Chain A
Amino acid sequence: MNETAKSSRGARTKGDVLLEIRNLQIEGESDEVWQPIVRGVDLTLKRGEVLGLIGESGAGKSTIGLAAMGYARGGCRISGGSVVFDGIDLLTASDETRRKLRGTRIAYVAQSAAASFNPAHRLLEQTIEAELREGFRTKAEAEKDAIELYHRLRLPNPEEIGFRYPHQVSGGQLQRAMTAMAMTCRPDLIIFDEPTTALDVTTQVEVLAAIRDIVEQFHTAAIYITHDLAVVAQMADRIKVLRYGKSVEEAPTREMLTSPREEYTRSLWSVRKLGKQEQPGGEPILQVKNVTAAYGNAVRVLSDVTVTVPRGRTVAVVGESGSGKSTLARVITGLLPPIEGQIIFNGKALPRALKERNADTLRRIQMIYQMPDTALNPRQTVYEVIGRPIEFYRGLTGAKKEARISELMKLIEMDDSYVDRFPGELSGGQKQRICIARALAAEPELIICDEVTSALDQIVQEGILQLLMRLQRELGVSYLFITHDIATVRAISDEIVVMFQGRVVQQGPKTQVLSPPHPPYTELLLSSVPEMDPDWLTNLLARRKAQPEAMKAGDR
């Protein structure tokens, strides 16, 4: 089976050069100063070839992808180099020439399909817009073709789905519809800009498979942009690693995975190498007992959930979006009083609502958020952010407060000089460290970490996770760690709770949950996590074909 997959991809005939980018220079405007974003990148793509572009945020991946269409976003300008597509230099060509190429010969698939589909029009109208405008087909033909494409992309109900509006369709389906839209004119080149980043892992598998198949079927060249090496390994013939707008290295996929030349490339999957020796559970600090919760009078978001967090340990709650992970956090903090059930903290039942809890109880349970950008008030300096809980809970002011702040800054491995900065002047990882310091300032016993690493680059994730683990060792604080990322779970947890549709599917020590046999949902979840193996997707699909019922949960 492995062999067939390999041969089908290997059999693709690579044609002549389709796209040639030479010494590309792109600048971005910030405070009315132009600064380089892309500094002299070269890139060659042959017909039918798939090139993976990988790098952290700020590496210039998307900017290069758009430049391949001769397009620069607002606030950016292409300041040098050449982009030659099939003999046409897109940078010197007229606007009209470029416009005509777009959507017909070069297509684009954006990261967030939900935002990139116009909410005012039906999917089908948008799918066939480009070909109708250029008069390639009649409307009837175009619609028939679009439905055919929906079929090939394994969209459910392909005959009717086109008549829906974007908001009526799920994210994974939208992403496939967008791929269909890109395919309508049978372009020579498609730019995939992180098409699966916003999706759950179980959904991602489906979309990846659909994209890969259709690109192969139509023999379309593609640039596949992502920050996830495991994902790009499934899609690309060659991989190019970018950093700070420069090329780090470029190699065929297998070669890149087995023997990366650069240290930086290796650090890209460093988080996957993090590991923690599982510690046995002790006395429970937090017990969530048979909790049922709902927003308003709507459907229940949590039903009969029971979770226990042992003191000084990390319990990871995993599940995809909508599984009720974050709601669990809201129930524990008292933001959402449960309909039924109890929250027992340190052996005592907590009042259900936030208002009824006293300051000391509030102090003991702290929270760290997914997006450090929204978790820090952009108008407060680090000093104010960290100082407030010290003042609020401990009543410290003046020199004592400053000493404590300095102490906390040391704990999160940041220099004192940062205290006068505003969050806008910090990087994502630094912001998240400040959030951690804010939580620590309260001297809590339990910290709820809600997806604290998922908005960060891999390399930064590693730093944060290591910090959290060190703090646990030094301070003995307990974590309830909410995440959808299995690698993170592996790295940090002692116990794992698997949630699905508001219920706990499986609960237990890490090694037990992660080793087979698994309940069906855990199986689906674990198997959907991409691995650093170019054949992983092929093998997975083959395996699932044998057990079709396992896939059902994923097609949402």
Chain B
Amino acid sequence: MTESAHTSDRPVAAAQPLPGRRSRRARVWRVLRKAPPTAWFGLIVIGLYLFVAVGAPWLAPYPESELVGGAFEPWGGQFLLGTDQLGRDMLSRLIYGARNTVGIAFLTTMLSFLLGGGLGLMAAISGGWLDQVLGRAVDVLMSIPQLIFALVLLSILGSSIVNLIVVIAVLDSTRVFRLSRSVAQGVVVMDYVEAARLRGEKLPWIMRREILPNIMPPLVAEFGLRFCFVFLTISALSFLGLGIKPPTADWGSMVRDNAALITYGDVTPLLPAGAIALLTVAVNFVVDWFLHKTSGLRE
């Protein structure tokens, strides 16, 4: 409807200012300016986390796992948020926890997207037996309880950080596979994909150049959600004793180590849990807004 100004396709003599590459930043800014407060809140929180994660060694007042005081020192004074059960500075561990937990969750999610997304695209484009085989394999993986299977696999492989990332990424990639396959199927039928095929383009080009850019919005949104789920899975594993090993600060085991305090109304264990919740809330806010922007759901 708003296209009326372009109805005529007669060549326009004087080109209008081009929305070229230079103005992309301006466009992003324009979109951001119109973002709702929740999205802003989410973006700021995510930015803050990234800043803290990157700058942990400079920001933290004390080293990650050094004992710097007595156990359970109160808040304020030398230790802003007190100390934990061993006398490590809570604030420093929270800061390093951002780096470890967020970093690991991020790597895991990336890996699961590379794996699930790549296979999903291949299944959608190729169809046929490849699609069938991958689809069935994913069915099988999804019908095994994820957390318990992760526990078993980690027992077999040993719970190193690399194994943790790989195991969770593989198990989680099933969901990514399903999503990317279904959204890619919507794009595969498009004429421009057919045009690329008719041109004689090979699978990687079609995947990367024709399909991927068009399924990015739902994938990015899913990335945010999966990131949260991976985050929660890792903290659940830590809770069950198979997560990130000490003395690395990670929020899941920090909650678990101090959980007993909750029953006495002490908020210390709430801090790492709150940090988890805050980040996932922030990511979800941004994802929500992003989905809203890209799905064209108006009104």
Asked whether A438 is an interface residue with its Cβ less than 8 Å from the other chain, the reply is yes
Stretch among B6-14, B78-86, B89-97 lining the A interface = B6-14
A388 touches B199 (CB 8 A): yes
Asked whether B149 is an interface residue with its Cβ less than 8 Å from the other chain, the reply is no
Set of chain B residues within 8 Å of A75, measured between Cβ atoms: 298-299
Nearest CB on B from A125, distance (A): 27
Asked whether A255 is an interface residue with its Cβ less than 8 Å from the other chain, the reply is no
Nearest CB on A from B128, distance (A): 12
Set of chain A residues within 8 Å of B197, measured between Cβ atoms: 335, 354
Asked whether B190 is an interface residue with its Cβ less than 8 Å from the other chain, the reply is yes
Set of chain A residues within 8 Å of B3, measured between Cβ atoms: 57-58, 427-428
Asked whether A389 is an interface residue with its Cβ less than 8 Å from the other chain, the reply is yes
| Assembly CA distance A260 to B220 (angstroms) | 54
A430 touches B191 (CB 8 A): no
Asked whether B25 is an interface residue with its Cβ less than 8 Å from the other chain, the reply is no
B192 touches A377 (CB 8 A): yes
Asked whether B213 is an interface residue with its Cβ less than 8 Å from the other chain, the reply is yes
Beyond A74-B299, A335-B197, is A460–B7 a contact (Cβ under 8 Å)? yes
Asked whether A376 is an interface residue with its Cβ less than 8 Å from the other chain, the reply is yes
Asked whether B1 is an interface residue with its Cβ less than 8 Å from the other chain, the reply is yes
Residues of B in contact (CB 8 Å), total 35
Instruction: Map CB proximity to A onto B195-234 as digits: 1 under 8 Å, 0 otherwise.
Output: 1011111000000011001100000000000000000000
Chain B's closest residue to A35 (CB) is B2
Set of chain A residues within 8 Å of B199, measured between Cβ atoms: 362, 388-389, 392-393, 442
Asked whether B19 is an interface residue with its Cβ less than 8 Å from the other chain, the reply is yes
Chain B's closest residue to A439 (CB) is B195
Nearest CB on A from B124, distance (A): 16
Asked whether A244 is an interface residue with its Cβ less than 8 Å from the other chain, the reply is yes
B213 touches A379 (CB 8 A): yes
Beyond A392-B200, A438-B195, is A459–B8 a contact (Cβ under 8 Å)? yes
| Assembly CA distance A429 to B210 (angstroms) | 22
Beyond A379-B213, A417-B18, is A359–B200 a contact (Cβ under 8 Å)? yes
B298 touches A29 (CB 8 A): yes
Asked whether B77 is an interface residue with its Cβ less than 8 Å from the other chain, the reply is no
B13 touches A354 (CB 8 A): no
Set of chain B residues within 8 Å of A359, measured between Cβ atoms: 200
Set of chain B residues within 8 Å of A362, measured between Cβ atoms: 198-200
| Assembly CA distance A74 to B1 (angstroms) | 12
Nearest CB on A from B19, distance (A): 6
Contact of A415 among B2, B11, B34, B213 (CB under 8 A): B11
Asked whether A37 is an interface residue with its Cβ less than 8 Å from the other chain, the reply is yes
Asked whether A32 is an interface residue with its Cβ less than 8 Å from the other chain, the reply is yes
Nearest CB on B from A262, distance (A): 16
Chain A's closest residue to B33 (CB) is A32
Set of chain B residues within 8 Å of A143, measured between Cβ atoms: none
Chain B's closest residue to A417 (CB) is B15
Contact of A375 among B1, B20, B192, B200 (CB under 8 A): B192
Chain A's closest residue to B193 (CB) is A377
Nearest CB on A from B186, distance (A): 11
| Assembly CA distance A375 to B18 (angstroms) | 23
A371 touches B298 (CB 8 A): no
A415 touches B15 (CB 8 A): yes
Nearest CB on A from B134, distance (A): 21
Beyond A30-B2, A354-B198, A392-B201, is A427–B8 a contact (Cβ under 8 Å)? yes
B6 touches A377 (CB 8 A): no
Beyond A29-B298, A392-B199, A460-B7, is A379–B214 a contact (Cβ under 8 Å)? yes
A-B contact pairs, 30 of them (CB 8 A): A28-B2, A37-B1, A37-B2, A57-B7, A58-B1, A58-B2, A58-B4, A60-B1, A76-B1, A244-B7, A245-B4, A335-B194, A335-B198, A357-B200, A362-B199, A367-B198, A374-B192, A377-B209, A377-B210, A392-B199, A392-B200, A392-B201, A415-B12, A427-B3, A427-B6, A428-B3, A428-B9, A432-B9, A460-B7, A464-B9
Name B residues whose Cβ lies closer than 8 Å to a Cβ of A: 1-4, 6-13, 15-16, 18-21, 34, 190-192, 194-195, 197-201, 209-210, 213-214, 298-299
